[in-house]
A and B are shown apart, each in its own frame.
Chain A
Amino acid sequence: MSMNTEFRPTIVAFCCNWCSYAGADLAGSSRLAYPADVKIIRVPCSCRVNPMFILRAFEKGADGVILCGCHPGDCHYSTGNYYARRRMTLLFSMLDYLGVENGRTRVEWVSAAEGVKFSETMNSFVEKIRSLGPNVRLGDLRCKD
């Protein structure tokens, strides 16, 4: 069989407490399945996510990292996700520049009412990561060991 069917990626999802984490809860209470590969870390706001967290996840073996927050304009803290958006745009662009497959990182805005969107987002993200395969290149960044 091809490797993709066996490959079980490790995926870290950072979700803001007010919208996306609640959206994930809604996906759960609506029984909208998505792969168990996704593990959610609760943060107060998407602006709490430091690029360091994302790189650290890759360093430790994650195959994909997704950040979910309130829709722009709906931030519980009014402006947090706008900062997150700029930070992540630049970070992703840098990873792309370094030759890391873009697609291993994603930002998606999911409101507390969007259980369906949360589930669909996770399904498509896992699908994407499975198609990319294991995170060799970010792993390869370990140039010496």
Chain B
Amino acid sequence: MQRLIDRAKALLESGEVARVLGWRKGENVWDVEPAFFASPEELSDFVYNGFCGANLSKYMIEASKLEGKTLVFLKPCDTYSFNQLTTEHRVDRETAYIVGVGCKGKLKIENIDAKGILDVQGAGYPDASEILTVKTLYGDKEVSYKDAMLERCHVCKGKEHMVYDELIGESVDTCDGDRFAEVAKIEAMSPEEKFAYFQSELSKCIRCNACRNVCPACSCRKCVFDSNKFDSAQKANTISFEEKMFHIIRAFHVAGRCTDCGECSRVCPQGIPLHLFNRKFIKDIDSLYGTWQAGAEVDARGPLTNFRTDDAEPSIVTKRG
């Protein structure tokens, strides 16, 4: 972490970058927040630990509009989002100084199943330990780092940064799961089971739009659910079909552009596994149109703005059963 701060300080002092986009210490070890640092002094609040899950790429949309370069710390998976945003002209590669920062898997405080947590030890970087020591109001406990990781880290895309100006720190490929296992499990369900599953998950939705607003692919200036273009209401409606419509359309709009960064599921206050929508599309795209990873390269043409003359017919859905 000190290396990151030192490097950021040096770049700020040399004037090469005008500001630093990173994470700021919170009240507790886990409530770190994305933050801009304008001076070397402010960097004393900089932190990089296991709870820095937030994907900073989206903040670069605003940062790209500012004068001078912005130093941004991106984890390997965040770089896919950055590339995708570059492809879509939403961020400017020229105004970013990207420090690819190492990642050993990020944590979710909710996954540390304990009440009254006061401190979590062992989540630092680079010195993260395999066991986290959790101090709570009601006693101490130990939790394995792996168990507290975000879902997305279990299906990690790998430790390579897709874009960077320099790299600091080591990464670990934390992948220990099958990315499409959950999707396949649902696909194998009967229509009734599928329906019941999504019904129960989605009826929790409160339309807070956190999933949308955190999503680097949902970068619209004004979401179609906020505008009157389709007579589609953004807020909760008397008829809540809107909710499912919202999630289907949102997934559709980011299909082929979603890098599977998992931010939507991370931020959902109701714990809805929103990544299952996006991953369904990814799985379909991979199997029907060839393996595709959004953001793996800049300016690649996405599967929904492309075609092959011998593409599968939509009836394949029925035939597949």
A binds B: yes
Residues of A within 8 A of B (CB): 50-52, 55-56, 58-59, 72-73, 79, 82-83, 85-103, 105-107, 137-145
In the complex, what distance in Å separates the CA atom of A88 from the CA atom of B252?
A: 10
Q: How far is the CB of A20 from chain B (nearest CB, A)?
A: 15
Is the pair B314, A88 in contact by a Cβ cutoff of 8 Å? yes
Q: How far is the CB of A84 from chain B (nearest CB, A)?
A: 9
Is the pair A87, B241 in contact by a Cβ cutoff of 8 Å? no
Give per-residue flags for B161-205: 1 if the beta carbon is below 8 A from chain A beta carbons, else 0: 000000000000000000000010011010111111111001100
B252 nearest in chain A by CB position: A51
Q: How many residues of B contact A (CB 8 A)?
A: 53
Is the pair B194, A98 in contact by a Cβ cutoff of 8 Å? yes
Residues of B within 8 A of A (CB): 183, 186-187, 189, 191-199, 202-203, 224, 230, 232, 238-245, 248-249, 251-252, 255, 277, 280-281, 284-285, 288-289, 303-309, 311-318
In the complex, what distance in Å separates the CA atom of A138 from the CA atom of B230?
A: 19
A144-B203 contact given A73-B309, A86-B304, CB 8 Å threshold: yes
In the complex, what distance in Å separates the CA atom of A97 from the CA atom of B281?
A: 10
- Residues of B within 8 Å of A139, CB to CB, are 241
Q: Please name 15 further chain A to chain B contacts, defined as beta carbons within 8 Å, in addition to the given A51-B249, A52-B232, sorted by A numbering.
A: A82-B308, A86-B306, A86-B307, A91-B252, A94-B251, A95-B248, A98-B198, A99-B192, A99-B193, A99-B197, A99-B198, A107-B314, A137-B191, A145-B239, A145-B240
Q: How far is the CB of B203 from chain A (nearest CB, A)?
A: 4
A92 nearest in chain B by CB position: B317
In the complex, what distance in Å separates the CA atom of A102 from the CA atom of B249?
A: 18
In the complex, what distance in Å separates the CA atom of A91 from the CA atom of B244?
A: 13
- Residues of A within 8 Å of B193, CB to CB, are 99
Q: How far is the CB of B218 from chain A (nearest CB, A)?
A: 16
Is the pair A97, B251 in contact by a Cβ cutoff of 8 Å? no
A105 nearest in chain B by CB position: B314
A86-B289 contact given A52-B230, A55-B249, CB 8 Å threshold: yes
Is the pair A142, B241 in contact by a Cβ cutoff of 8 Å? yes
Is the pair A90, B304 in contact by a Cβ cutoff of 8 Å? yes
Pick the contact of B248 from A50, A98, A107, A140 — CB < 8 Å?
A98
Is the pair B284, A93 in contact by a Cβ cutoff of 8 Å? yes
Is the pair A101, B191 in contact by a Cβ cutoff of 8 Å? yes
Pick the contact of A142 from B240, B317, B318 — CB < 8 Å?
B240
Is the pair A102, B192 in contact by a Cβ cutoff of 8 Å? no
B246 nearest in chain A by CB position: A55
Can you list 16 pairs linking A and B with CB atoms under 8 Å apart?
A: A52-B224, A52-B232, A59-B242, A82-B309, A83-B307, A86-B303, A86-B304, A86-B307, A97-B183, A98-B248, A99-B194, A99-B195, A99-B199, A139-B241, A143-B240, A144-B240
